[in-house]
A and B are shown apart, each in its own frame.
Chain A
Amino acid sequence: MLLELTNVEVVYSDVILVLKGVNLSVAEGHIVALLGANGAGKTTTLKAISGLLRSEDGEVTSGSIQFQGVPIHTEEPQNLVRRGLVQVVEGRRILPHMTVEQNLLVGSKVLKDRAERRQVLDKVYGYFPKLVNLRARVSGYLSGGEQQMLVIGRALMARPRLILLDEPSLGLAPMIVTEIFELVESLRRQEGIAFLVVEQNANVALAVADHGYVMENGRIVLYGTGPELRENEDIKEFYLGMSISGHGKSFKDVKHYKRRKRWLG
């Protein structure tokens, strides 16, 4: 396994238990979707993996996180990037006052020299031809879709094996969302990069995912392959907004109290 979480517990500020024993794994070159409602602990899971948790007073208190077979839950983020694990933080966190190319170059911290940086830069421009014309533009003025491309491109600059992608669809038009997930799929196919994607948009995420996990209240409550989850009655009802018959749901019929989420029972 490329990434393996076993019984991971995370506590914020020494008191708030957010993850209550999460088990999750990502195989080499796979796309894995992590779904769940707001506050379920999805982002915390990603931050626990990437080591960003500690900058927010969070801590992995038990369980283990292994990347390529090596325990990493005490590792500094910079060493994880060096090993090939990059997180794309939620909310398109570009460096707004720097140009597109400067943004990309900042991401290449772990590369050896100028020549290697140039080479990877050209490759990234190959995946995002739109960014070529924008290379000298101050990134704060790009459109939302372009910014999302930029942060993914910036993550690619570190030549990662695994990208943790936090809500790439946030606030973007459906067409752009489709475009981004097609890109994720082609990066997996051509570069063999694995993705762990946190998404609210279950439909589009499960369309490309090999596997998916559903989180609720700091626990994994459901696991399956992409197609399995898409056929699951509960997923259909609660995440895809369809009635049991499989057709679009009318708001007239919404009665959540009738059907409980079974995994909570």
Chain B
Amino acid sequence: MTSLLSQVANGALTGLLYALVAMSFVIIYRSARVFNFAQGEIVVVGAFLVWTLMSAFDLPVWAAVPLALLASVLLGVLIERVILRSLVGEELFAFVMVTIGLLIFIRGVVLVAWGPEVRFFPAVLPMAAVKVGALVFDRAMVIGGALTLVVAAAMSWFFNRTQLGLEMTAVAEDHQTALSLGIPVTRSIAVAWGISGLLSTVAAIIFLNGKGMTFLASDIGFAALPVALLAGLESIGGVVLGGLIVGIALGLASYFLDPIFNGGVAAVFPFVIMVIVLLIRPTGLFGWKTIERI
């Protein structure tokens, strides 16, 4: 029983981490209407930035983390400026191909710059386990889960209540209408890429805190995909719920199904959910449905 509870609770925390990465997808999609397949690679770059500053340059945490966050904001803005801006007005297909190309490109750059060997990611967050009754949690994941909730609430507030957030939502609705209202569309998109880069690095710190890592950590980008699609690509609050659903389903799957199939089901299960969601409700649980009046 404890084991089931532990699987479910840890699954929920994993789900919240996925939700954080999914949020970085959603923020870009909401403003630029670009689905960024390279999001996982940006997480890895963020992770290596932290690693480089702390392990190679021996900077203390309080200097290294803000610097890495700043650098990841710049990375997001840079990608938007250099690669995606020239595509404005092109077909969706062009964007899909470009972000896949970006994935391959960044992976190559990471391999050249940092190599394929396993590195130890510094412990930015405290390592001691959190014990609640008989349940044991990774402290970084608990902090991360709480942080995800706070960030989601802040982002929801930002996009629905503040002037800049409303303008960015308007950009998500329709670039030309936003333009006609005097909103600088390209600047809104750059802001979205910046926020997204920031969240990616935060996710990297929570995900890899005190663990070994290679460039393959980028798989988290794909793990977050089902969460983003389940939530619907426009909903920030929905991402949290989507993350919890996927995470808990993952916990249940690893408890009930893994013994039958000799393991591995938990890794596949989120994608099973994703396919089902796409078949039944392509806009996800909270995505923007096409409004048709009769």
Kindly identify, within residues 91 to 121 of chain A, every residue whose CB is under 8 Å from any CB belonging to chain B: 93, 95-98, 102, 105-110, 117
Determine if A102 and B169 form an interchain contact, defined as CB atoms under 8 angstroms apart: yes
Residue B89 at the A interface, CB < 8 A?
yes
Minimum Cβ distance to chain A for residue B66 (Å): 30
Determine if A78 and B291 form an interchain contact, defined as CB atoms under 8 angstroms apart: no
Determine if B184 and A106 form an interchain contact, defined as CB atoms under 8 angstroms apart: no
Kindly identify, within residues 172 to 187 of chain B, every residue whose CB is under 8 Å from any CB belonging to chain A: 173-184
For the complex, give the distance between the alpha carbons of A35 and B244 in Å: 57
Closest to B234 in A: A97
Instruction: Answer whether A97 and B170 are a contact pair too, CB < 8 Å, given A77-B179, A109-B183.
Output: no
Minimum Cβ distance to chain B for residue A54 (Å): 9
For the complex, give the distance between the alpha carbons of A99 and B178 in Å: 15
Kindly identify, within residues 154 to 172 of chain A, every residue whose CB is under 8 Å from any CB belonging to chain B: 154-155, 158
Total interface residues in chain A, CB < 8 Å: 35
* Residue from B166, B176, B291, B293 in contact with A106 in the complex, judged by beta carbons closer than 8 Å: B166
Residue A52 at the B interface, CB < 8 A?
yes
Q: B180: which A residues are within 8 A, CB to CB?
A: 50, 52, 77, 86-89, 93
For the complex, give the distance between the alpha carbons of A95 and B173 in Å: 6
Determine if B175 and A55 form an interchain contact, defined as CB atoms under 8 angstroms apart: yes
Determine if A52 and B170 form an interchain contact, defined as CB atoms under 8 angstroms apart: no
Instruction: Answer whether A109 and B288 are a contact pair too, CB < 8 Å, given A77-B180, A78-B183.
Output: no
Residue A76 at the B interface, CB < 8 A?
yes
Minimum Cβ distance to chain B for residue A72 (Å): 13
Determine if B179 and A52 form an interchain contact, defined as CB atoms under 8 angstroms apart: yes
Residue B86 at the A interface, CB < 8 A?
no
For the complex, give the distance between the alpha carbons of A52 and B291 in Å: 25
* Residue from B88, B167, B175 in contact with A109 in the complex, judged by beta carbons closer than 8 Å: B167
Q: A76: which B residues are within 8 A, CB to CB?
A: 184
Instruction: Answer whether A141 and B166 are a contact pair too, CB < 8 Å, given A55-B179, A80-B182, A102-B160.
Output: no
Determine if A105 and B179 form an interchain contact, defined as CB atoms under 8 angstroms apart: no
For the complex, give the distance between the alpha carbons of A57 and B88 in Å: 11
Instruction: Answer whether A154 and B179 are a contact pair too, CB < 8 Å, given A95-B169, A97-B288.
Output: no
Determine if B177 and A95 form an interchain contact, defined as CB atoms under 8 angstroms apart: yes
For the complex, give the distance between the alpha carbons of A143 and B291 in Å: 12
Given A96-B173, A110-B182, 12 further pairs, Cβ under 8 A: A50-B180, A52-B180, A80-B182, A82-B182, A86-B180, A93-B176, A98-B169, A102-B160, A102-B166, A105-B163, A106-B169, A106-B181
Residues of chain B whose beta carbon lies under 8 Å from any beta carbon of chain A: 88-89, 160, 163, 166-167, 169-170, 173-184, 234, 288, 291, 293
Could you name 5 residue pairs across A and B whose Cβ atoms are closer than 8 Å?
A: A78-B183, A81-B181, A81-B182, A98-B166, A140-B291
